[in-house]
Amino acid sequence: MKENLLQFVWKLKMFSTQKLLSTKGETIEIISAGTENLNSGPDFFNGKIRINNQIWVGNIEIHLKSSDWYNHHHEKDDRYNNVILHVVWEHDVEVFRNLNEVITTIELKDIVSENVLKKYRELFISTKKWINCENDIDSINSFILNYFFEQLYCERLEEKSKVIECELKKSNNNWEEVLFKLLAKNFGLKVNGEAFFNLANTINYATVRKVSLNGFQLEALLFGQAGLLFELKESNYFLDLKKEYEYLKAKFSLEPLNKGQIQFFRLRPNNFPTIRISQLVQLYLKEQQLFSKVIAIKNVDEYYKLFSVQTSEFWDTHFTFEKESKKHVKKLTNSFIDLLLINTIIPIKFMYFKKMGNINFNEILSLIQELKPEKNTIISNFNQLNIQSKSAFETQALLQLKTEYCNNLKCLNCAVGKELLTG
């Protein structure tokens, strides 16, 4: 038994309210259970209770035992002075408000339905390995799931917005700069994401803009700052890049990343940092006003055209500076662009709309629903539970569900858990 279950039971009145009595035999009528408080202080604000023939308006506190009032030191906290009702599972001691008056108490253990407790035990007290509701989640009505998925996806966007908000403050609201940093991070994928983000932060964005009309200079700048030009290679292209970088380094007083921060290990050749950096360079060589275009576009096909770039010519026959390979044009694939849209473009559009006071959530939903579902272990596990994803909208919602609700046992805050307990 946990306190959050009692809060859930109280909020939904999942107990017998007929002939409801306090621990002292007073008749109780619940006119309003109050508004749940998600912060510190009493559990419910502005409850309305009739005790005998008198109506009381004030706060309501929930505990497993009455003595928890003292264990939590509420008697020393002025925020609890206007608690009008104490709701407990077990009443083991009288509790007094600041004027030495006994606080009316309701004991729940004999009036909560056994069926509710059974469902609670089935949900929480089990040997299930992955998520608590793994045997039942596929029984939830699709309408309930879809509605909840919108909430989950909105929560996920809000979380990603926090990073964008932070970067906007650092850049004095320079959206182009923030976009560059976030794109750099996502071009690095999981292995090099943080290193690419750090790389973008080593360069004043004004410097990027100054050299962005010259693809060779921009490659020299990013390769050099990535620490990929330290070791001497025999390639003429490498030597030319190194020479150019030394010039730029001196001109703009640059400090590169330490050697070894950028990784090649366990990456497929097409995801080598050399390839991804060159593709990023070509994107900025192609588009001088990238942010305005990102905001203006409203469908996925147009984004595919916008991000349709390939490496510079040298990388057609190379994956590294040393070994030559069979000629192969290395374009950004639609699946890679999908990742950029999911992790960078859609969140930054959402944040921009929010800042402008004009969140068009339907446009955001339309974009994410056009994208194919992601493939990862979490999504595969949900597939095994018969929760199939048709788009990236559903996979993003499921990722939020697993990481923020299932992993933290927030079943009573989850639409699935609520339905299983009340259905």
Tell me the per-residue pLDDT of 360-400, one tens digit each, with 9 for 90 and over: 899 999 999 999 999 999 999 999 999 999 999 999 999 99
For the stretch 168-173, contacts whose Cβ atoms lie closer than 8 Å and that sit 24 or more positions apart, written own/partner, are 168/351, 171/205
H helices of 171-231, in order, are 175-187, 189-201, 205-211, 215-225
Q: Which residue has the tokens 């996979």?
A: 395
253: left (phi over 0), alpha (psi -120 to 50) or beta: left
Determine if residue 266 is left, alpha or beta; phi over 0 gives left, psi from -120 to 50 gives alpha, anything else beta.
left
Nearest to 303 by CA among 363, 354, 390: 363
pLDDT of amino acid 358: 85
| CA atoms of 260 and 192, how far apart (whole Å) | 11
Average pLDDT of the segment spanning 280-307:
96
Q: Which run of H or of E encompasses 237?
A: helix 236-252
Sign of CA dihedral 348, 354, 358, 362: positive
Summarised one tens digit per residue, pLDDT across range 189-233 is: 999 999 999 999 999 999 999 999 999 999 999 999 999 999 888
Is pLDDT of 128 > 70? no
- Written as six digits, the tokens of 295 are 């905001």
Are the C-beta atoms of residues 323 and 247 closer than 8 Å to each other?
A: no
Question: 232, 228, 312: which is closest to 275 by C-alpha?
Answer: 312
Q: pTM here?
A: 0.87
pLDDT band per the 50, 70, 90 thresholds, residue 126: low
What sign does the dihedral 122-128-133-134 (CA atoms) show?
negative
Hey, which bits of 21-109 come out as E strands?
28-32, 35-36, 44-51, 54-65, 83-90, 105-107
- What pLDDT score does 1 carry? 75
Which residues touch 108 (CB under 8 Å, ≥6 apart)? 6, 9, 15, 87, 88, 89
Q: Cβ distance 106 to 86 under 8 Å?
A: yes
**Exposed/middle/buried for residue 414 (C-beta within 10 Å: 0-12, 13-18, 19+):** buried
Q: What is the pLDDT confidence band of residue 301, given thresholds at 50, 70 and 90?
A: very high
The 10s digit of each residue's pLDDT in 83-122 is: 999 999 999 999 998 878 899 999 999 999 889 999 998 8
Query: Is 193 within 8 Å of 185 (Cβ atoms)?
Result: yes
Rounded distance between C-alpha atoms, residue 216 and residue 212, angstroms? 9
Burial (CB count <10 Å: 0-12, 13-18, 19+), residue 277: buried
